[in-house]
């Protein structure tokens, strides 16, 4: 019970630190969201299901040879990151309800053995079209440097490819609509190791509702990779007490990377 209360307190503190007080209806908040993404994801085959939203323009409509095929077929026909980016650029279903945002596709080494996945672009990322370029990104660069990686060595992406309004948490529906594209991106890059930054990223990819404290520090088989989860850099900026566990996590990441790549 004490553990549970500590987890809840840690979670709420992290949320508040990252997003401030949440001005959203209860269904947009994490508890409701988490249950619902978990349910939605377990019902979904992830890459094979057309998202339910019907208002949006499915990706590929502008590419003649990809017209009239399901999302699964369109993604199957994609063989390069450039083609996937084109598909994402055409996809209204990747957008949030914030109008006029830019696609933040992902950046880095297309052959990276380490891929980092955050939550969603913020204001700076939306403006520059690149993940993790704001304050959290600066800290992420330092964390990477501490374990002897340059930003260019790894590949960085997010669960969502468009910025949500007010930097709110991505909704279950937004995560579900974005996931097939992200999974294709992962399959094209084929990283040996994936580091999820924060609870939204970890729980979405692992399709498992749990506290960050429970998720972190372990490696989970995922497609052809291993996944591990640590604190989001934005949370670290305001919660220095989480720097030590993060340091332990990323040292494990470096050791596992060396083991998997024989370096």
CA–CA separation, 141 vs 263, rounded Å? 21
- Could you tell me which stretch among 62-70, 72-80, 89-97, 113-121 binds ligand URA (CB under 6 A)? 113-121
Give the one residue of 131, 164, 170, 172 binding ligand URA; rule: CB under 6 A.
131
Question: Is 81 within 8 Å of 162 (Cβ atoms)?
Answer: no
- Assess 119 for contact with ligand URA (CB under 6 A): yes
Which residue number, 33 or 71, has a Cβ lying nearer to ligand URA?
A: 33
- Assess 172 for contact with ligand URA (CB under 6 A): no
Which residue number, 134 or 191, has a Cβ lying nearer to ligand URA?
A: 134
Least Å distance between CB 159 and ligand URA?
A: 8
Least Å distance between CB 71 and ligand URA?
A: 24
Q: Up-side HSE of residue 196: CA atoms within 13 Å toward CB?
A: 26
Question: Is 114 within 8 Å of 156 (Cβ atoms)?
Answer: no
Which residue number, 121 or 202, has a Cβ lying nearer to ligand URA?
A: 121
Give the one residue of 108, 118, 172, 180 binding ligand URA; rule: CB under 6 A.
118
- Assess 122 for contact with ligand URA (CB under 6 A): yes
CA–CA separation, 96 vs 53, rounded Å? 12
Query: Closest residue to ligand URA, Cβ-based?
Result: 118
CA–CA separation, 38 vs 34, rounded Å? 6
- Could you tell me which stretch among 21-29, 68-76, 92-100, 124-132 binds ligand URA (CB under 6 A)? 124-132
What are the φ/ψ torsions at residue 38 (nearest 5 degrees)?
-60, -45
Run of H or E residues at 117 = strand 114-118
Distance from chain centroid for Cα 205: 8
- Assess 155 for contact with ligand URA (CB under 6 A): no
Question: Is 118 within 8 Å of 185 (Cβ atoms)?
Answer: no
């Amino acid at each position: 019970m004490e553990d549970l209360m500590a987890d809840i307190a840690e979670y709420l503190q992290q949320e508040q630190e990252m997003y401030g007080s949440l001005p959203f209806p209860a269904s947009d908040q994490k508890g409701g969201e988490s249950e619902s993404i978990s349910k939605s994801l377990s019902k979904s085959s992830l890459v094979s299901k057309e998202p339910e939203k019907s208002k949006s323009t499915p990706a590929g409509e502008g590419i003649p040879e990809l017209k009239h095929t399901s999302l699964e077929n369109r993604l199957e026909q994609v063989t390069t990151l450039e083609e996937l980016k084109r598909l994402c650029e055409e996809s209204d279903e990747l957008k949030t309800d914030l109008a006029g945002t830019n696609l933040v596709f992902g950046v880095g080494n297309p052959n990276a053995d380490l891929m980092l996945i955050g939550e969603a672009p913020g204001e700076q990322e939306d403006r520059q079209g690149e993940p993790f370029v704001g304050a959290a990104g600066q800290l992420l660069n330092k964390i990477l440097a501490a374990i002897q990686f340059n930003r260019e060595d790894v590949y960085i992406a997010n669960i969502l490819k468009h910025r949500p309004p007010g930097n709110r948490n991505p909704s279950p529906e937004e995560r579900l609509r974005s996931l097939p594209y992200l999974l294709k991106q992962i399959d094209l890059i084929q990283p040996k190791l994936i580091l999820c930054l924060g609870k939204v990223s970890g729980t979405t990819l692992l399709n498992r509702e749990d506290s960050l404290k429970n998720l972190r520090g372990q490696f989970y088989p995922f497609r052809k990779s291993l996944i591990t989860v640590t604190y989001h850099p934005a949370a670290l900026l305001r919660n220095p007490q989480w720097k030590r566990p993060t340091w332990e996590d990323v040292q494990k990441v470096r050791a596992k990377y060396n083991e998997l790549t024989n370096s």
